[in-house]
Structure 1
Amino acid sequence: MTTAPALEDSTEQDCCTPAVTSVLDAQTAHQRARTFKALADPNRLRLLSIVKAGSLNGTCVCDLTEPLELGQPTVSHHLKILVDAGFLAREKRGTWAFYSMVPGALDAVTETLLGL
């Protein structure tokens, strides 16, 4: 009959040494979750794509409803989430709102993903 070799006693220090030098604080985790949640919707990703491909002077909200085949209130809701998350800037011109990409916003997401 063969017996398994005895396990060596390990010290608490060996098994409990933190592998990570820093962890997210609650506020940073909440902010990053809001950012990822904003990107987790296919309509919002499409809106970002349309605005990014649009004019440097901004894309009118009137040009965003038809490509998504959504009503104006729904598109406005998605745009508000993207503005609040820091991806889009909104500029009011008369009765219309124009949206443009916030410079570096997508780069910041990439850095966040690589830093996790």
Structure 2
Amino acid sequence: MSSRSMSMEQTVTPAVPRVTTSVVGGIPRSSEGFDRASAEGEGDGDGVGLRVAPLEASSATAFATMFKALGDPVRLRLLSMIASAPDGEICVCDLSSAFHLTGPTISHHLRILREAGLVDSDRRGTWVYYRAVPATLILLAGLLQTTR
């Protein structure tokens, strides 16, 4: 590889931060330090949600990315199909057949859901299997909780 082509190479980072989460001590946390407690303000555990404290800018951006991903009817249906799959995961071949859309369009919608941290995937041979990320769904539900 020439020095010219090396200097032109760039690392492409998605414009939207991917929030990958795990549950630690009952509180969903991500590898980026985004967690339910920090997203909703430090509290004594009496309640969670928007009514507890204003969101920090970085948390608002991450949540907005998730809601934007869910703001499209196709993506909302895809997430519903993935989350309700009997085995906890579903093949892209089963997802595609439910829509009158091209394969690339379905892939685009699934990429948006992945980048928002709502689903995860594994390639097995020629097919890709998708599963919901429960901790991310818990984060969204916690944000919208209205009780204190």
Going from structure 1 to structure 2, the CA distance change for 1:94 and 1:113 (only over 3 Å counts) comes to same
Given the alignment, which residue of 120, 137, 140 partners 1:106? 137
By relative contact order (CA 8 Å, sep 6+), the higher-ranking structure is 2
User: Structure 1 residue 31: deviation in Å?
Assistant: 0.8
Over 3 Å off, 4+ runs: none
Does 1:44 pair with 2:92?
A: no
Going from structure 1 to structure 2, the CA distance change for 1:30 and 1:94 (only over 3 Å counts) comes to same
Going from structure 1 to structure 2, the CA distance change for 1:56 and 1:21 (only over 3 Å counts) comes to closer
| CA distance, structure 2, for counterparts of residue 106 and residue 57 of structure 1 | 14
| CA distance, structure 1, for counterparts of residue 138 and residue 123 of structure 2 | 26
Cross-structure match for 1:73: 104
User: Structure 1 residue 102: deviation in Å?
Assistant: 1.2
TM-score scaled to structure 2, two decimals?
0.59
Matches within 5 A, 1:14-29: 22-29=53-60
User: Structure 1 residue 77: deviation in Å?
Assistant: 0.7
Q: Secondary structure at the match of 2:64?
A: helix
**Which residue identity is paired with 2:115?**
D
Identity of aligned residues (%): 43
| CA distance, structure 2, for counterparts of residue 22 and residue 57 of structure 1 | 34
Give the unaligned 5+ runs of structure 1.
1-19
Does 1:94 pair with 2:94?
A: no
**Which residue identity is paired with 1:42?**
P
Pairwise CA RMSD: 1.9
User: Is 1:56–1:100's contact at 8 Å kept on the other side of the alignment?
Assistant: no
CA-to-aligned-CA distance 1:41-92 (integer Å, 9 cap, x gap): 1001110111122242521111111212111111101111111111111001
| CA distance, structure 1, for counterparts of residue 121 and residue 89 of structure 2 | 9
Does 1:85 pair with 2:106?
A: no
Decide which structure has greater helix share: 1
| CA distance, structure 2, for counterparts of residue 28 and residue 53 of structure 1 | 27
Give the unaligned 5+ runs of structure 2.
1-50
State the number of aligned residues. 96
